[in-house]
Amino acid sequence: MGPHLDPFLVCATIQHTKLCRSVLAVSEIGTAQVLRSSIVPSSPPPSYFTSLKRFRDELHNERCLELLLLAEDTPCLLLDIGCGSGLSGSVLEECGHMWVGMDISSSMLDVALERETEGDLILADMGQGTPFRAGVFDGAVSVSALQWLFNADKKSHQPIKRIYTFFSTLYAALSRSARAVFQFYPENEDQLEILTTQAMRAGFYGGVVVDYPNSAKAKKFFLVLMTGGAAPLPQALGTEETDGLQVKYSKREATKGARGKPLKNTRAWLLEKKERRRKQGKNTRPDSKYTGRKRSGKF
Amino acid sequence: MLTSKCLKGVTTGYPLAINAKEVKITEIDFNPEFISRLIPKLDWNVLWGAADSIGHSEGLPKVIEPKYEENEEFLKKAHRVLLEIEIEEGNLTCPESGRQFPISKGIPNMLLTEAEVQ
C-alpha cells in the first residue's frame, strides 16, 4: 500500500471532520476494491480523494438504480437531482439509460460539461420545483442532495414549503408507476419525518429504507417514493427480517412497549424475560405449560 | 429542449419558445427502442414547432403516423431532433409571462429570483 493510499493519511490532511468521517465510511467498503482493481495506480492524494468520492457516489448510485426496480433492458429517461459533475450519471449511462441532470451549482455543471457526459444538464434549484412537463420521466435518482433542502440559505427560504414544492412538482414530472430514490444524510429523526410527510402530502407512496441500520459507518438512508399505488418497499441491506419502515419506527415501538410492560411476576413477564435471555444467548429452559406456575407445597 | 415548464404564477407555462443563437449537432448512438418509448410522452405539435423555429424541421412530418414504431426512417428523424440537436447559446421564453431563461453552453438556467417563486 503506497503512502497515498492510506485513508488515515488522507484524513489527516483534511480539516473538515464531517467530510473526513464520510471518507472513512467509504474507505471501509471502497479501499479493498480500489486496491484490487487498481483504478488509482499512482494518483496524488487530491485525486485519490476525488476517486474515493467517486466510488462513494457510484456505489450509492448503483444501489439507487437497484432500488428503482426499472424494467431490465429497456432504456429509460431518468432525472438526476443534484447531479453535480455528472459522476453519478455515468452509472446510469453504463446501464443504457438516458438521463437529465439538474443542479444548482453552475460550476459543477461546467465540470460535467468538461467530462462530456451524455446527459442533458439544467441549472435549477430543486426547492423551486422541477421544471419539466408532466409524466416525462421513468424514474428519478438523487445522491446526497436531499438534505440541502433543509438549509435556509436566504431569509425567504422556508424549508418545509420548498420540500413540498419539490415533491409535488417531481410527482407531476414522473410517469405513473415510476419510482424516485434519494440517498441522503438526515441530521435527525425529525428530518426523516418531515420528508416522509411532505412526500405523502404530494401524493407519493413509499418510505425510508435504511441499509446497515446497526452500523454507524455503513448506515445509508434511502427515501424510496412510488407514484403508482402502494407497493412493498425493497429489502434494506444488512437487515435480516425487518424491513426499512419497521426499522424506522423501532424506537417508537420500543417506548410503546415500555409503557404497557407486563406486570412483574406474571407469566407474561416471565415468558418475556426468558425470551430476552434466549436472545442474549444464555442457557434458558424451554417454555412449557408449567412455566410460571407456583411449585406445589409438597416439593 | 422540449420538456421545460416554468412555475411562478404561471399555470401551464408550456411550450417555451426557443430563441437559438448557436446550434450544435452532436452524433449520438441511435436507439430505436428508446425513441419509440419517448414519443408517446411528447406533444408532437410542440416539438415540430420547436424544430421549425430553429430551422431543423425539414423532413419531419407534422403528424405522427399510427405505426411509427416500425418506421425506422421516422424514428431516425425524431432521434435527430430529440437528441442530436443541441442549443448552445440562446433563450427560452415563457409564453405566459414573457420571462426569458438564458441558455449558455447548452445548459438552460431555470433559476428563479425570490419574487418569482410561488
User: pLDDT tens track of chain A, all 299 residues?
Assistant: 444 444 444 444 334 434 444 443 444 444 333 333 333 333 333 444 445 555 556 666 677 777 777 766 677 788 888 887 777 777 777 777 778 888 888 888 888 878 777 777 888 787 777 777 777 788 888 888 888 888 777 766 777 888 888 888 888 888 877 888 888 888 888 888 888 888 888 888 888 888 887 777 778 888 888 887 666 667 777 664 444 444 555 555 555 555 667 777 788 889 999 999 999 999 999 999 988 888 887 76
A74 and A53, same domain (yes or no)? no
B67 in any annotated domain: yes
**pTM of the predicted model, to two decimals?**
0.63
A193 and A161, same domain (yes or no)? yes
A103 and A243, same domain (yes or no)? yes
CB < 8 Å to B31, chain A: 75
Cell 467509504 identifies what position? A26
A27 and A161, same domain (yes or no)? no
Residue that finishes a domain, picked among A59, A82, A106: A59
A5 and A79, same domain (yes or no)? no
Contact in structure between A225 and A233 (CB atoms under 8 Å): no
**Residue numbers of the domain that contains B37:** 20-105
A295 in any annotated domain: yes
The set of residues, in sequence order, having a beta carbon less than 8 Å from that of B62 and lying 6+ positions away, is: B45, B48
Search chain A and give the residue with CA nearest B6: A131
B81 in any annotated domain: yes
Beta pairing, strands A137-143 & A174-184? parallel
A29 and A43, same domain (yes or no)? yes
CATH number at residue A125: 3.40.50.150
CB < 8 Å to B43, chain A: 133
Task: Give φ, ψ of A270 to 5 degrees.
Answer: -65, -45
Helix ranges (DSSP H) in chain A: 7-13, 17-37, 45-68, 87-94, 106-114, 159-173, 189-201, 244-259, 267-279
Q: Are B108 and A104 inside 8 Å of each other by CB?
A: no
Using alpha carbons, select from B107, B2, B110, B5 the residue that is nearest to residue A85: B107
B10 in any annotated domain: no
Continuous segment of H or E residues that includes residue A226: strand A220-226
CA atoms within 13 A on the CB side of A7: 19
A52 in any annotated domain: yes
B78 in any annotated domain: yes
pLDDT for A195? 85
pLDDT for B24? 61
Continuous segment of H or E residues that includes residue A141: strand A137-143
CATH number at residue B29: 2.20.25.10
Q: In the structure grid, which three cell numbers stand for residue A60, read together? A: 450509492
Other C-beta atoms closer than 10 Å to the C-beta of A195 total: 24
Instruction: Give the number of domains in chain B.
Output: 1
Q: In the structure grid, which three cell numbers stand for residue A107, read together? A: 460550476
A195 in any annotated domain: yes
Q: Are B110 and A75 inside 8 Å of each other by CB?
A: no
B15 in any annotated domain: no
A46 in any annotated domain: yes
In a mutational test of the A interface, the residue from B24, B27, B31, B41 whose CB has the highest number of chain A CBs within 10 Å is B41
Search chain A and give the residue with CA nearest B8: A128
A184 and A280, same domain (yes or no)? no
B8 in any annotated domain: no
B9 in any annotated domain: no
Considering CB atoms only, which of A123, A154, A169 is closest to B108?
Answer: A123
Eight-state DSSP code of residue B52:
H
B77 in any annotated domain: yes
Burial class (CB in 10 A: 0-12, 13-18, 19+), A238: middle
A279 and A219, same domain (yes or no)? no
Continuous segment of H or E residues that includes residue A120: strand A120-123
Contact in structure between A103 and B109 (CB atoms under 8 Å): no
Eight-state DSSP code of residue A176:
E
B44 at A interface, C-beta within 8 A: no
Distance from CA of A122 to the nearest CA of B (A): 5
Cell 445509508 identifies what position? A220
Tell whether ipTM is more than 0.85. no
A67 and A34, same domain (yes or no)? no
Q: In the structure grid, which three cell numbers stand for residue A51, read together? A: 476517486
Distance from CA of A128 to the nearest CA of B (A): 7
Task: Give φ, ψ of A149 to 5 degrees.
Answer: -65, -20
In a mutational test of the A interface, the residue from B12, B26, B96, B111 whose CB has the highest number of chain A CBs within 10 Å is B111
Instruction: Give the number of domains in chain A.
Output: 3
A133 at B interface, C-beta within 8 A: yes
A158 and A18, same domain (yes or no)? no
CA atoms within 13 A on the CB side of A106: 10
A231 and A93, same domain (yes or no)? yes
Continuous segment of H or E residues that includes residue B73: helix B72-79
How many angstroms from the chain centroid is the CA of residue A257? Answer: 28
B3 at A interface, C-beta within 8 A: yes
**Residue numbers of the domain that contains A94:** 60-248
A283 and A158, same domain (yes or no)? no
A121 at B interface, C-beta within 8 A: yes
The tens-digit pLDDT sequence of chain B (118 residues) is 444 443 333 444 455 666 656 666 566 666 667 777 777 666 666 677 777 766 665 666 666 666 666 666 667 776 766 666 677 777 777 766 667 777 777 777 777 766 666 5
